[in-house]
Chain A
Amino acid sequence: MAVPKRRTSRSNTRSRRSQWKAKVPTLAKCPRGHVVRPHTVCTTCGRYNERQVLDV
């Protein structure tokens, strides 16, 4: 079985982990001003394209 030859240094570990970043999600506004994911029904008012889709 393959095993690591060397212990990963603190520096290498931290450099690797510095790339773990949260992305800013793409957001849009529904016609009533709620913040929504684009092309998705608004979970606050339950509407999409001015059409009531969900029971809220």
Chain B
Amino acid sequence: MPTPTKGARLGGSPAHERLLLANLATALFEHGGITTTEAKAKRLRPYAERLVTFAKRGDLHARRRVMRHVRDNSVVHTLFTEIGPRYVDRNGGYTRIIKLGNRKGDNASMARIELVEALTVGQQAVGEAERARGTRFAPSRKPTGATAEAAEDLAKESPTAAAVHAQSAEVTPAAEAPKGDGTASDEGSAESAS
């Protein structure tokens, strides 16, 4: 849960702030990145990341909770089919804020907030190695449950979903493999101990 915000609302009133953040989040998911003031970008980050977390969960309840904020059906669809599955192996940190300097006119500090890319093959390999070694940096999540099901259903519709589906299909044997390795290494350590 993000830390509650302190101080004045954006736009003056709580209702205005809710609408502003909802519209900013919609634009962010539609375009993948938006340029706004730094203050708005900073307030948008926890809000948008929470919505992405719902998208990763991927069930109907999560979808309805997102629909309360993002009122554009097509954007919600992209969020659940493209953006959510893209971040299965990330635990938070789905957005990036880059400061752009001050705006001409009112000298407001501007920033660009964008959705980060999916993990590269190299980063995934590192994650897998960490998981196999059982270090504390090991990513804990794999595409399971509703996310895997949604990816399976939408595999034909979007490339991201297809990739996730392929990954979740791989997961079952891969998930067994580290267990085998783990027992093997345990035996190995037992032998070395004796």
Contacts and interface: CB of A to CB of B under 8 A. Distances in A.
Interface in A15-56: 37, 39-41, 43, 48, 53-54
A48 B101 contact: no
Contacts of A48: 98
Given A40-B101, A41-B98, A41-B99, 13 more contacts: A37-B101, A39-B99, A40-B99, A40-B100, A41-B100, A41-B101, A41-B112, A43-B101, A48-B98, A53-B98, A53-B100, A53-B112, A54-B100
B74 to A, nearest CB: 26
Contacts, number: 16
Interface of A: 37, 39-41, 43, 48, 53-54
Contacts of B112: 41, 53
Q: Do most interface residues of chain B lie in helix, strand or loop, or is the interface mixed?
A: strand
Contacts of B100: 40-41, 53-54
Interface residues of B, number: 5
Contacts of A43: 101
Contacts of B98: 41, 48, 53
A40 B100 CA distance: 6
Nearest to B100: A41
Interface in B97-113: 98-101, 112
A50 to B, nearest CB: 12
A30 to B, nearest CB: 13
16 contacts: A37-B101, A39-B99, A40-B99, A40-B100, A40-B101, A41-B98, A41-B99, A41-B100, A41-B101, A41-B112, A43-B101, A48-B98, A53-B98, A53-B100, A53-B112, A54-B100
A18 to B, nearest CB: 25
A37 B100 CA distance: 10
A43 B99 CA distance: 11
Contacts of A39: 99
B104 to A, nearest CB: 12
